[in-house]
Structure 1
Amino acid sequence: MNTEDPLDRVLCTWHARADTPPDFREEIWRRIAVENPPSRASRVAWWVLQPKRAFLMAAAVVAVAAAWGLTHPAGSEVSPHDAYVISVSPFDPHTLQPLRP
């Protein structure tokens, strides 16, 4: 199946001409400089995601979560066992009513 195709001969003799304009690089940098400035969201994301700030924000979130957990204890009056029995027992009068602590 070695058939000679005339297109193969033409493609072998063809050479690409890579002529670039003399101010090509300057034009590219000019286009980059003219692009739209970053959006407010991307600037805020860049500011927040700096390593020091990200660490401080993570520490602040952990501190707030710990403070919330200490000031708002779970305090459920129904034990997990009783809650399960109430939820699956068809004879318990609380089955159709939602549990309230």
Structure 2
Amino acid sequence: MRLFARAKVPKSMELEVGALLSELVFGHGYMHYGYFPEGLPEELSLQALGEAQHAYFEKLLETIGTVPGDVRRILDVGSGTGANARGLIG
């Protein structure tokens, strides 16, 4: 689903608006869908979505492990706001 379905808005602007909304609404800037370890809640709220996005990042950390302390750069392709990369380098 496109954020601006009717207007002819450059894709880069659409992504910027999405990133800004993610930062303002959820406070963390993650731009992925989320991870619901207990399955989808009966009623999906903004709070539940924000928590699921954070849970996704926590699952990512659990899956890839800890980034070694001497790593100073991470290539985050399709990084959105860069929240995942910032979280990985602590």
Please, what TM-score do these two structures have when normalized by structure 1? 0.24
Structure with higher RCO (Cα < 8 A, 6+ apart): 2
Which is higher, the Rg of structure 1 or of structure 2? 1
As a proportion of its length, which structure holds more helix?
1
